[in-house]
Structure 1
Amino acid sequence: MRRLLSALLVPLALAAATTAVHAQALDRILSAKKIVIAVQNDVTPYSLLDANNQLDGLDIEVGRQIAKDLGVDVEFVVVTGANRIPALVTNQADLTIATLTLTPQRAAVVSLSTPYTAVPHVVVGPKDKTITSWDDMKDIKIGVPRGSFQDQYISLYVGGDNIQRFEDDATTFQALASGQVEATAFGITVANSVLEKNPELNLEVKFQAAMTYPTIGTRHADMDLRHWVDTWIFYHKGDGFLQSLHKKWLKIDMPDLPAY
């Protein structure tokens, strides 16, 4: 009987210990009265610096509303595209809200929420360059932000040594503007903003490359926080908040968003 009780109690104790560890994230944030969120500042209209050099954009408003709904202050930590996941893994942030597109590879490293937005990605290049398909891109120089969703799908569909990787969207665009590369890919809203602001570069959208589903990242261990974020997304899909952000920043109705 003693052995039987021991066999039953040990797994229960381990389960209780695991639950205690997983329950720490929200308690820690609420006790500290602050949530730390990793964001970018160069992915218009998701993240940008306004006329007063302050953070703004759809992702920034999402982060501020999350803090408001938790009843805590928010601290934004600015990261590059390549550092969005390391910021979580190294405990520099509680959440990453930085157009972190859903992929199986990322989900193996950090926990990804249900999508809070969806945006088509498009290939952008010079008007005088014929680029209508992936085949046309196999013999031209292509720039991508290192470790980004663009890096993944362009590497998959094009491959080869003609892909050049840069630190972020801004340096990738500068490479395109200077002629260092001949094509890149952006979310449609970023692409439209780039084309509108730089007509002298004679760039255009070439074709749709992929549909992206940005998510909010948490650490795997922070299961309670991930569940809360999913609840937050579900709630604000229903009350119109996320729809209002799509109309304000993306100039589109909120697309149908998958849930899982």
Structure 2
Amino acid sequence: MVKSKSMYAVWLSVILLFVLAAGCAKTDGPQTASAPGNDQDALKEAKGDGPLQRIKNKGKLVVGVKTDYNPFGYIDEKGNNVGFEIEMAKALAQDLLGDANKIEFVSVTGTNRISYLQSGKIDLILATMSITEERAKEVDFSEPYFKSGVQLLVKADSTIQDVADLKGKKVIVVPGSTGDLGIAKQVPDAELVKLQKTSESVQALKDGRADAFAQDNTLLYPLAGSNPEFKVVGKPFAELPWAIAVRKGESELVDWINANLKKWEDQDYFYELSEQWIAPKMPKEFNPSDFLRRPKK
């Protein structure tokens, strides 16, 4: 537990640094066009018409989620949204609206999730979203709930062993993902093949249109487990915490989300979800305490 507690402190430090950096960026020059909207939100909040009340008024929580990211958010054989983050979203709806079914799931990708949020199409993003300095300029983040690192999915007979072997190779990435940003930075000589969907990425790797697929290891291990023609290689890199994102200035929503995250941590709810959704699909050395929030002991 000491390791988990230390890791959690590091997560919070990362958030603080990003928030401070984003805040400083705002003061360097004219306010952006979104500033008046934020002022209006603050005014509505003062009048009792903040984001929580608006969600209550419409009677449902609209959440941007992944639909191709097993085990966090995907569509099962019955056509239902399921996964680790789906259960988190339902628990939020239960807390705010008294009914876990008063929720609408909107499928998002790494390239459209922020625009969906800013346009009001969704209330929040709960979609394997890691905290970065650039994203913190566009959205407000909750405290983290999970941490993942990027690794490589390759064919079982591939000689690629780590990112250093990707020079001059074709590497599949999801646009806007941590893998996309990490590979571009670490291996500028790699040729990026940008595909939106996991299914497309897997098929491209099978067809030989690329040499590797760089993505969060929590997605790659389940893929390798169900596709023996693949294996996961390399040490994790670009390790960043995941958090829930809301529109800029919606502090009431952030506080409510953080209160739920703390409650779930104390109840060890994240571990329960991990045992149900993640652990069965990860290698034996997977230790939940290295990746998610656990009770402080």
TM-score bracket, shorter-length normalisation: 0.7 to 0.9
For 2:14, the equivalent position in structure 1 comes to none
Q: Does 1:225 align with 2:248?
A: no
Q: In structure 2, which of residues 88, 110, 114 is the aligned counterpart of residue 62 of structure 1?
A: 88
Bigger shift: residues 205-214 or 27-36: 205-214
Counterpart-to-counterpart distance in 2, 1:22 and 1:44: 37
TM-score, normalised with respect to structure 1: 0.86
Counterpart-to-counterpart distance in 2, 1:16 and 1:65: 30
Aligned pairs (5 A) from 1:22-41: 22=45, 24-41=50-67
Structure 1: runs of 5 or more not aligned = 1-14
Amino acid at match of 1:233: L
Tell me if structure 2 keeps the 8 A contact 1:40–1:79: yes
Counterpart-to-counterpart distance in 1, 2:239 and 2:132: 12
Amino acid at match of 2:256: W
Amino acid at match of 1:60: I
For 1:215, the equivalent position in structure 2 comes to 243
Tell me if structure 2 keeps the 8 A contact 1:121–1:209: yes
Tell me if structure 1 keeps the 8 A contact 2:140–2:247: yes
For 2:29, the equivalent position in structure 1 comes to none
Tell me if structure 1 keeps the 8 A contact 2:70–2:83: yes
Deviations 1:9-41 (A, max 9, x none): xxxxxx996632455211101222211101111
Q: Residue 257 of structure 1: CA displacement?
A: 5.4
Residue 125 to residue 256, structure 1, CA distance change in 2 (3 Å):
closer
Tell me if structure 2 keeps the 8 A contact 1:113–1:226: yes
Q: Does 1:246 align with 2:274?
A: yes
Deviations 1:147-168 (A, max 9, x none): 1111111111112361111113
Q: Residue 256 of structure 1: CA displacement?
A: 6.0
Residue 202 to residue 150, structure 1, CA distance change in 2 (3 Å):
closer
TM-score, normalised with respect to structure 2: 0.76
Tell me if structure 2 keeps the 8 A contact 1:38–1:93: yes
Tell me if structure 2 keeps the 8 A contact 1:122–1:187: yes
Amino acid at match of 2:114: I
Counterpart-to-counterpart distance in 2, 1:159 and 1:255: 30
Counterpart-to-counterpart distance in 2, 1:175 and 1:17: 47
Amino acid at match of 2:273: L
Q: Residue 88 of structure 1: CA displacement?
A: 0.4
Deviations 1:21-66 (A, max 9, x none): 4552111012222111011110000011122111100010010000
Q: Residue 253 of structure 1: CA displacement?
A: 2.4
Q: Does 1:162 align with 2:197?
A: no
Tell me if structure 1 keeps the 8 A contact 2:168–2:190: no
Amino acid at match of 2:188: G
Task: Provide the alpha-carbon RMSD of the alignment.
Answer: 2.2
- The 3-state SS of whatever aligns with 2:127 is strand
Tell me if structure 1 keeps the 8 A contact 2:161–2:233: no
Structure 2: runs of 5 or more not aligned = 1-37, 280-286
- The 3-state SS of whatever aligns with 1:211 is strand
Runs (4+) of structure 1 exceeding 6 A deviation are 15-18
Counterpart-to-counterpart distance in 2, 1:93 and 1:237: 25
Percent sequence identity over matched residues?
28
Tell me if structure 2 keeps the 8 A contact 1:115–1:216: yes
Amino acid at match of 1:71: L
Residue 181 to residue 129, structure 1, CA distance change in 2 (3 Å):
same
